């Protein structure tokens, strides 16, 4: 049954509260009675009230002291003082101490109802304004990081918590701590919960808020939350979007001795729904942003490969156009040579023509090798061994250039499917570039690790690095900074890595060195 509000009537006169109870129950309120200040305090601990009608003059703990106690425990309950005739001075004092209003005995039930309704209206208005203010703040940003910070601050204020945290789901559908005001970073990073696991997981699974009193101390499920035994009471609320859980909000009271009650859950409902909505918005925005970034990356890759393939076509067509004339040149020279009617000098010169034509053919062939999409001849291999063999090959030469090679291969590196000749070519190319980047010597670090479902080999030099404009074009054919370079090395490497369903990435800062990372998919099974 829904009540307009819950009223606690505190009066030592039974006849008084019986009349009041009847009057209010008829009007749709729930009424509970307490015969003394002490009983009132006990009732507040276990039940939820919106309004307390408090007699000023009671034996034992008087009205004023009871009011003070109520305020300490819960500043949000509306207290209306019921005063005897001539208690104006005390009534005024009670207003100063936080009572909402007072009524004088003898009571007219209509007046009392009016007063209660007025107080309820004021309260609703206050709450509405507060929610409006909250929503303004919550919806002031759509960026997840900023929003989480705002929510944590608001949670501590609105729920009067000493610390708070928000758990969200990662891609594996595990809860992780997205933000926390109290937990240290290490616990934050380590904590991953499956739905249903531990208390936050339970709240997420059951889609029900939860209150724990001294719970962390006694609950074995929180055993690895070391140092959290100081928590007095905790509120764990699932954040729902429609009927789907998008996260969990945890609020803890440490210094405040008043425990969370069902009333806190009730009161925070709208706040929580605002939080859920804002988080959902931020999530959508975040997903959108990620998708956009991915799209941009794909686009870049497409542009890159399009550039390469159109260049490949160009080279291939150009070669055809040039190779035929070269054949005509060298062929005619050979025909003249064949006649044998020329002087030795002319023969020599004809041979130069023929030789140069053949040289031109070789250059074109090298270009075409790049333009051709070579099918890789894949075999199962240990990438560590392949890289090591290339490192061994260049070791002496590097030593002569005062370059030290340091190698580190993770144990249990998964096997890869590669054309080892091609991958050797890639490594060799990268190492040669690194050597050229360290003319005065340096350190070449080679590191092979597993990186998700790929193997990554980093080639890190501490050479001259490259400026951004070079970095951006580093895989472009004919892009070179070397006097004698063809600018095909890294383009060929890039093509090879793509043919292996792998990748090649460059990190570089001018003056600080370059790291080229080779990615290869792990062999399945």
Partner 1 sequence: MHTIMVVDDNAKIRAILEEFFSRSGFTVVPASSGKEAVDILRKGTVPNLVILDIKMSHGSGLDVMYEMRRMGITPPAILLTGTIDAGKYADMLEKLGFSEENIYYKPIDLFVLLDLVKKRLGLV
Residues found near partner 1 in the complex (CB under 8 A) = 316, 319-320, 323-324, 326-332, 334-335, 338, 354, 357-358, 361, 364-365, 368, 371-372, 374-375
Phi-psi region of 477 (alpha: psi -120 to 50; beta: other; left: phi over 0): beta
Report the 10 Å Cβ neighbour count for 213: 15
Q: Are strands 6-10 and 30-34 parallel, antiparallel or unpaired?
A: parallel
Q: Which of 19, 84, 180 is nearest to 33 (CA)?
A: 19
Q: How far is the CB of 483 from partner 1 (least distance, A)?
A: 28
Dihedral sign, Cα of residue 180, residue 181, residue 187, residue 193:
negative
Closest approach of partner 1 to the CB of residue 328, in Å = 5
Q: Which is nearer to partner 1, 368 or 393 (CB)?
A: 368
Residue 425 has φ and ψ, to the nearest 5°, of: -60, -40
Give the dihedral sign, CA 307/517/443/422: negative
Q: How far is CA 480 from CA 116, 280, 316, 424, 426, in A?
A: 84, 48, 21, 21, 16
We find the least distance from the C-beta atom of residue 341 to partner 1, in angstroms, to be 13
Closest distance to partner 1 from the beta carbon of 491 (Å) = 17
CB of 328 or CB of 399, closer to partner 1: 328
CB nearer to partner 1: pick between 315 and 418:
315
Query: Considering the complex, what minimum distance in angstroms separates the CB of residue 322 from partner 1?
Result: 8
Question: Judged by CB, which is closer to partner 1: 40, or 308?
Answer: 308
- Residue 382 and residue 94: Cα distance in Å, rounded? 83
**Cβ-based nearer residue to partner 1, 290 or 373:** 373
Identify the DSSP state of 522: B
Least distance between partner 1 and beta carbon 408 (Å): 38
CB of residue 310 to partner 1, shortest distance in Å: 15
Considering beta carbons, is residue 89 or 338 the nearer one to partner 1? 338
Q: What distance in Å separates the CA atoms of residue 487 and residue 399, rounded to the nearest whole number?
A: 25
Q: How many of the other CB atoms lie within 10 Å of CB of 321?
A: 8
Nearer to partner 1, 107 or 323 (CB): 323
CB of 410 to partner 1, least distance (A): 37
Least distance to partner 1, CB of residue 352, Å: 14
> How near is the Cβ of 495 to partner 1 at its closest, in Å?
14
**Residue 430: both structure tokens together:** 């990268």
**DSSP class of 220:** G
Cβ proximity to partner 1, 327 vs 400, nearer residue: 327
Helix and strand numbers, DSSP H then E, in the chain: 16, 18
In the bound state with partner 1, the residue whose beta carbon lies nearer, of 257 and 332, is 332
Alpha carbon distance 205, 243 (integer Å) = 11
Crossing angle for the helix pair 14-26 and 109-138, nearest 10 degrees?
Answer: 60
Residue 41, CA atoms < 13 Å, CB-side half-sphere: 17
Of 316, 321, 306, 320, nearest in space to 371 by CA: 316
């Amino acid at each position: 049954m829904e009540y307009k509000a819950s009223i606690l009537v505190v009066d030592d006169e039974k006849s008084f509260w019986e009349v009041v109870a009847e009057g209010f129950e008829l009007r749709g309120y729930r009424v509970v009675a307490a015969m003394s200040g002490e009983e009132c305090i006990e009732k507040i601990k276990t039940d939820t009230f919106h309004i307390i009608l408090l007699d000023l003059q009671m034996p034992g703990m008087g009205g004023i002291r009871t009011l003070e106690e109520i305020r300490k425990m819960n500043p949000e309950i509306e207290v209306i003082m019921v005063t005897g005739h001539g208690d104006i001075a005390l009534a005024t004092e009670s207003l100063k101490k936080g009572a909402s209003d007072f009524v004088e005995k003898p009571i007219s039930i209509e007046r009392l109802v009016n007063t209660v309704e007025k107080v309820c209206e004021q309260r609703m208005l206050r709450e509405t304004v507060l929610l409006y203010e909250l929503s303004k703040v919550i919806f002031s940003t759509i960026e997840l990081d900023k929003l989480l910070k705002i929510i944590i601050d608001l949670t501590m204020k609105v729920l009067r918590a000493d610390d708070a945290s928000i758990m969200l789901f990662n891609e594996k559908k595990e809860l992780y701590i997205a933000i926390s005001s109290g937990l240290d970073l290490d616990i934050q990073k380590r904590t991953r919960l499956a739905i249903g696991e531990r208390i936050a997981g339970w709240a997420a699974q059951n889609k029900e808020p939860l209150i724990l009193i001294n719970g962390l101390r006694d609950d074995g499920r929180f055993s690895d939350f070391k140092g959290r035994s100081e928590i007095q009471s905790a509120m764990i609320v699932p954040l729902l979007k429609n009927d789907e859980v998008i996260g969990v909000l945890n609020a803890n009271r440490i210094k405040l001795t008043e425990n969370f009650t069902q009333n806190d859950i009730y009161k925070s409902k709208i706040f929580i729904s605002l939080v859920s909505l804002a988080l959902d918005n931020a999530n959508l925005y975040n997903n959108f942003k990620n998708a956009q970034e991915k799209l941009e990356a794909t686009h870049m890759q497409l542009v890159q490969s399009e550039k390469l393939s159109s260049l490949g076509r160009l080279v291939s067509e150009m070669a055809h156009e040039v190779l035929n004339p070269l054949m005509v040149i060298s062929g005619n020279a050979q025909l003249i040579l064949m006649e044998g009617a020329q002087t030795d000098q002319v023969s020599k010169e004809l041979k130069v023509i023929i030789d140069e034509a053949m040289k031109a053919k070789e250059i074109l062939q090298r270009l075409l090798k790049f333009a051709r999409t070579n099918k890789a001849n894949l075999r199962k291999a240990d990438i560590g061994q392949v890289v090591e063999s290339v490192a061994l090959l260049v070791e002496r030469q590097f030593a002569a250039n005062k370059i030290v090679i340091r190698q580190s291969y993770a144990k249990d590196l998964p096997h890869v499917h590669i054309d080892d000749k091609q991958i050797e070519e890639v490594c060799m190319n990268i190492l040669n570039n690194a050597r050229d980047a360290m003319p005065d010597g340096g350190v070449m670090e080679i590191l092979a690790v597993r990186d998700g479902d790929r193997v990554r080999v980093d080639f890190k030099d501490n050479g001259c690095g490259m400026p951004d404009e070079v970095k951006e074009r580093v895989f472009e054919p004919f892009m070179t900074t070397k006097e004698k370079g063809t600018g095909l090395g890294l383009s060929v490497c890039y093509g090879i890595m793509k043919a292996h369903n792998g990748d090649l990435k460059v990190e570089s800062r001018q003056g600080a060195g370059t790291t080229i990372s080779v990615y290869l998919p792990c062999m399945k099974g």
